[in-house]
Amino acid sequence: MPSFTFVSTANAFVLRGGVPVFVDIRPDTLNLDETLLEGAITDRTKAVVPVHYAGVPCEMDSICATASRHGLAVVADAAQALGSTYHGRPAGGIADLAALSFHETKNVTSAEGGALLVNRPELCERAEILRDKGTDRSRFFRGEVDKYSWVDIGSSYGLSELNAAFLWAQLEAAEELTQDRLRTWRAYHEALAPLEADGLLRRPVVPEGIEHNAHIYYVLVNDLDERSRVLEGLNGRGVNAVFHYVPLHTSVGGLRYGRAAGPLPHTEALAERLIRLPLWSGMSETQAQQVVETLADAVHRRVPA
C-alpha cells in the first residue's frame, strides 16, 4: 500500500495482524506506483491495496495483473473515488473488495460511515457475517436457517436510520453533486494554468481514460518552506487551505506496525509540497476566483523582483 494515505487504510490490516508494506507513489498522480509492486512482494504478501487519491483511480490493469500473477487479493481504498471511473469502469468495481467513505469530508456524506463493495460473489456471505456482529442473521432473515448464532468475528457497522436517510438523499443527487464539484475543479484548473506555465506551482495530473469526481483540487509548490509561506498567505486572507497526509512510514504508528519497501522519495517530497484548495458542492464562481487570486498573490510573493 502507499504510505501517502490516511491511517484507516493501514489500520484495517494492522487490526487483523497484518503488516503494511509501504510502496512509493507516482510523481504524476500521487497514486501507488504500480511499477514498484513486484519488488515489494514476498512469500508473505496477501494483498495489494491501491488508494485512489483525490478521486483519480490508480493504474488498475497493471496492479490487478501483478496481483493475479502472485495470487494476491486486490483490496482498493476507494474512499475518495465514488463516481470516478477507470477506462469506463467504476473505480470501486475493479478490485476484489473496495471501501467507500461517507465521512463528512467526502462528496457524498452521512457524517461518518462507509460501504464495502464486494466484487467476488463468494465473499458476500462472509461480508454479511462481519457486518452482522459475526452472526448469520442475514441467512436467518432469508429463511435459510431456523435460528441465527455467532459464527465468525464481526462488529456493528450499520448506520442509524437518520444517518442513512441523510445519505440516501445525497446518493440520489450524487451525479448532480459531482458535476457541481467538477465545475469548480475545472475552473481552478484553467485559471491556474498560467501559474504552472511560469513554474510557480504544479497542477493535478489526470491520465487518459480516467474520469475523476473532483474530490480534491490540490497544487504542488517547490518545497516545504514555500508551502508554509503560501499557506500562511492564503489563510491570512480568509482562504482555508491546508496540507494533506503526513506519510505513514514516517509516523510513530507506521514505524511500529509497518515497514517501507525501499526508499520512498516521491512520497516524502510531494507530501511536503502539497496544498489543498477549498472545494465544496455549491461553491460559487466568485468564491473560486477569490481563491485563485489569493493563491496567485501568495506564490508571486516569493519571486524576486
CATH 3.40.640.10 residue ranges of the chain are 7-172
- pLDDT tens, residue by residue, 200-254: 999 999 999 999 999 999 999 999 999 999 999 999 999 999 999 999 999 999 9
Mean pLDDT by 10 residues, the chain (305 residues): 98 96 98 98 98 98 98 98 97 96 95 94 95 95 95 91 94 96 98 97 98 98 97 96 97 97 98 98 96 96 54
CATH 3.90.1150.10 residue ranges of the chain are 174-300
CATH topology of domain 174-300: Aspartate Aminotransferase, domain 1 (3.90.1150)
Reported pTM = 0.95
Grid coordinates representing 137? 442473521
Integer CA distances (angstroms), 197 to 194, 201, 203, 256, 305, in order: 5, 8, 10, 42, 18
Strand residue runs (E) in 14-58: 21-22, 47-48
List, in order, residues 6 or more apart from 233 with CB less than 8 Å away.
Answer: 294, 297, 298, 301
**Ramachandran assignment for 262, one of left (phi > 0), alpha (psi -120 to 50 degrees), beta (any other):** left
CATH topology of domain 7-172: Aspartate Aminotransferase; domain 2 (3.40.640)
